[in-house]
Each structure stands twice: as C-alpha cells, then as structure tokens.
Amino acid sequence: MSNCNRLKYSMIFCISLILNTELFAQDTIINKPVFVPNTNDFQSEIQHYIDLMNNWAVGDSLPAFLHNACLDYEFNEKHRFMHDYPSVRKQIISRVTNNCILNYIIDNHLFDNSCKKRSGVRPDYKQSVFYFVKERIGQ
C-alpha cells in the first residue's frame, strides 16, 4: 500500500470518527427537570430532601443524601448562622409522608451508620438514618 493510500484512508477514518462522535457519547437526559435548591435558604434545601423521599418508589435509586452520615455536620457548617441546629436528617424523616421508603429502609436495614469523623455537637448528630426511621415509625 502506498503512502498516498495510507494517508487517504487515515484521513477518511479521522473525518468519520469526528463526524460520528455523537454515536460514542454518553446518553444524557435532557427533558428531565432538575431541582437545584437555593442553598441560601436552608428550609428550601430541607424541603428538597423531603420531596426526594416522598417521590421515591420501589425500583428507584435511593436519594444520595441518605448515604451521607455526616449530613447534619455539613449542613451546620454550610449555614454557619445555625449553631447547634437540630438534626437535619431527623427533621427530614419526621416530615416524610411516603411510608414505602421508610419501610424499605427498615426492612433492608439500610443507613445504620453514624458519622465517625467528628465528635457530636448534639447527641442526635451521632444517630443514623436507620435510627431516625425506626423512631419515626415506632419500631
């Protein structure tokens, strides 16, 4: 094969690769609205977490914030004006109306870990989401 042909085929390959990059791109969901809470308004942020839990259905992935055992500390640091603020996780769990997600957490014994990296400002910061759910549904 001559150098001219190699160059020709290389150019064709490169051009086709560039033109077809959309075929190799990761699929994205464009039409799904995404709520971004106003981080200056802590009640809006709490309500966003409550809505995530209330809109959950079996088969959906669980809201990511539930995996964060240190959410209370991080929330308190983010909104510096709130010293010794009650547990955000406890507030969220107490206002959830979707019993399906609460029972799912209990039945599967999920989120039974507490934040290990800090000493507690409040005793309820040391509790797990599992503990708050158990307390909420009275088990």
Cα dihedral sign, 46-54-127-116: negative
Can you list the residues of the chain whose pLDDT is less than 50? 23-37
What is the reported pLDDT for 139? Answer: 57
Cα dist from 128 to 40, 66, 68, whole Å: 26, 10, 10
What does the domain layout of the chain look like in residue ranges?
Answer: 27-137
pTM for the structure as a whole: 0.66
Query: 65 is written with which tokens?
Result: 């914030």
Angle between helix 88-95 and 42-54 (nearest 10): 50
Query: 7 is written with which tokens?
Result: 């160059």
What is the reported pLDDT for 84? Answer: 64
pLDDT digits (tens, 9 = 90+) for 21-46: 554 444 444 444 444 445 557 788 89
CB 122 within 8 A of CB 86: yes
What is the reported pLDDT for 28? Answer: 43
b/e map of 56-73 (b: 16 or more CB within 10 Å)? beeeeebbebbebbbbbb
The Cα 118–Cα 126 span in angstroms is 9
